[in-house]
Amino acid sequence: MRRVVITGLGIVSGFGNDVDGFWDALLAGRSAVRELQLPDLPLIPAVTVPPFEAEDVIGRREIKRMDRVGMFAGVAAAAALTDAGDLGLDGARVGASIGCAHGGAATLMDAQDALRERGADRVSPFTIPLALTNSPVAAVTRLHGLHGPSSAPATACAAGSDAIGWAYERIRFGRADAMLAGGAEAAIVPTVMAGYLKLGAVASLARGAEHASRPFDNARDGFVMAEGAGVLVLEELEHAQARGAHIYAEIVGYGQACDAGHLTSPDETGTGPSRAILAALADAGLDPAAIGYVNAHATSTPVGDAAEALAFGLAGLAETPVSSTKGQHGHTLGAAGAIEAIATLACFGRNELPPNANLVEPDVELNLVRAAQPTAAEYVMSTGFGFGGHDSALIFKRV
C-alpha cells in the first residue's frame, strides 16, 4: 500500500482564513467565541466567520450558485491547493472528500420562508442542489476541476475526520494520486439552533461567551456552535517528493467504529470510541505509548467529554498529553475533524501542543495540556465522534 502525506492546508474559521493566524490564535489561548442573537431565540455563545471577500477566489457567478457552506469549502480548498503548489496531475487522478452534517442550512431556511410568505412558485430552483449534504464537495470539485473519486461523509460530527480517512484510503489503495479532504459547516440558522437548544446541548452564558466552552472542565454545560471549513491536500508520498513539495505530516493510521446505541448520547463506558482509537493504532502498527499528543473531540458536554476520557483510558492513552481546542474555535460539527486536524498539525508546524482552554477544575483522569508547551512528538492523534454513535480517529507522523 502506498504512503500518504499532507502537502497543503486551507482554513476558514472564526480566527480568519489563514492557517498561520489560526495556529497563532490557538497557541496564544485566544477565543473566537462571541454572543450572538438570532431571530426568535435567546442570546447564545457562537463562533461566526468574519466577513471576507470570496469573489476574488470563487467569482461572483459561482457564489450565486452556492450556499454559505459551499463558499467556505471552496475558499478553504483554494487556499489548500495554493499552499500545496502545482500538483502536476491530471484532474482524473485528483478527487475530493468533504464532510458535512447539515448541508446548505441557510438555503433550506430561505426556501421555507419563500414558501410560507410567497408560495411554491417563489422557491428557488437551486434549493435542492444547494441544500444537500454533498453541496460542499460538489462546490469544491466543480471549482477546481477534480474528476477523481468524490465523497460527502455525513457521519455527523465525525464527518470531517471520516472525510480525511476516506481520502487517505483512496490514495493508499491507488484509486487516486491526490485528494482534497476535510469538512465544511454553516448551520448557525434559527431552526437548527432551536433544535440544539431543545436538546439541551448548547452552552450557557453563565460564565460569559469566551468561557462558555470548557472541555473536560467540571463546570461545562454544553457546546458552542461554530461555522467554517478546513481542507487538506493529501498526496502520494513519492509523487510529493518528486515535485519537491513541502510535507506537513504523513497520515499513518485511521480507525472507525460505531456505538450502535443512542440517537445522540455516546457510549458512556467509552468502549465504542476506544474501538476506533485502537483500530487507528492497529492500522498504524503502533503501541499507545508512541502517541505524543491527542487532540480530543471533547465538545464540552458533561456526558461526551467523560465518555471520551474513559475511551482514552481503555485505549492506553490515559498518560498521553490531551487537549480539546473547541474552547477557542467552537464546535464546527461536520468540519470539526478537519479544522482540528489542522490544529493538531501545529505540533509539527510550530513544535507546540495546543492548550485546553477554560480548564479550571478538570473532572477526568487525563494528562490535560493547560497551556501551549513545546513538543517533539513523532506521532499525534485527532479524534472525531458524532451523533448516532459514529467514532473515528486519525494518526499523523512527523516527517
Q: How far apart are CA 194 and CA 189, in angstroms?
A: 9
What is the pLDDT, as a whole number, of residue 16? 94
What is the pLDDT, as a whole number, of residue 65? 85
What does residue 342 show for φ and ψ, rounded to 5 degrees?
-65, -40
What is the pLDDT, as a whole number, of residue 186? 98
Q: Which residue has the cell 498521553?
A: 320
Read off the pLDDT of each residue in 227-236 and give the average, rounded to a whole number.
Answer: 98
> Where is 253: in which H helix or E strand?
strand 249-258
What is the pLDDT, as a whole number, of residue 242? 98
Read off the pLDDT of each residue in 107-135 and give the average, rounded to a whole number.
Answer: 94
Residue type, 163: A
Read off the pLDDT of each residue in 321-325 and give the average, rounded to a whole number.
Answer: 98
pLDDT at 64 over 90: no
pLDDT at 255 over 90: yes
User: CATH classification of 4-242 is 3.30.360.10, yes or no?
Assistant: no
- Banded model confidence at residue 208, pLDDT cuts 50, 70, 90: very high
What is the pLDDT, as a whole number, of residue 148? 98
What is the pLDDT, as a whole number, of residue 62? 85
What is the pLDDT, as a whole number, of residue 384? 97
Residue among 208, 202, 217 nearest 331 (CA): 202
Instruction: Return the beta strands (E) in 116-207 as ranges.
Output: 150-151, 178-185
What is the pLDDT, as a whole number, of residue 335? 98
Q: Exactly one of 157, 211, 239, 347 is catalytic; which is it?
A: 157
Residues of the chain with CATH 3.40.47.10: 4-242, 254-397
Read off the pLDDT of each residue in 331-360 and give the average, rounded to a whole number.
Answer: 98
| 297 catalytic per annotation | yes
Read off the pLDDT of each residue in 105-110 and give the average, rounded to a whole number.
Answer: 94
| 262 catalytic per annotation | no
Q: How far apart are CA 217 and CA 370, in angstroms?
A: 11
pLDDT at 264 over 80: no
CB 178 within 8 A of CB 92: no
Q: Which residue has the cell 492546508?
A: 9
What is the pLDDT, as a whole number, of residue 86? 97
Residue type, 317: L
Q: Exactly one of 297, 329, 347, 390 is catalytic; which is it?
A: 297
Percentage of residues in the chain with pLDDT exceeding 70?
A: 100
What CATH number belongs to 254-397?
3.40.47.10
Percentage of residues in the chain with pLDDT exceeding 90?
A: 93
Mean pLDDT rounded to a whole number for the chain: 96
Instruction: Give the dihedral of Cα atoms 144, 124, 230, 189; nearest 10 deg.
Output: 170
Q: Exactly one of 102, 239, 331, 390 is catalytic; which is it?
A: 331
Read off the pLDDT of each residue in 117-121 and give the average, rounded to a whole number.
Answer: 94
Dump pLDDT digits (tens) for 151-203: 999 999 999 999 999 999 999 999 999 999 999 999 999 999 999 999 999 99
- The C-alpha angle with vertex 108 and arms to 74 and 119, in degrees rounded to 5, equals 135
pLDDT at 59 over 90: no
What is the pLDDT, as a whole number, of residue 63? 85
pLDDT at 249 over 90: yes
Read off the pLDDT of each residue in 128-156 and give the average, rounded to a whole number.
Answer: 96
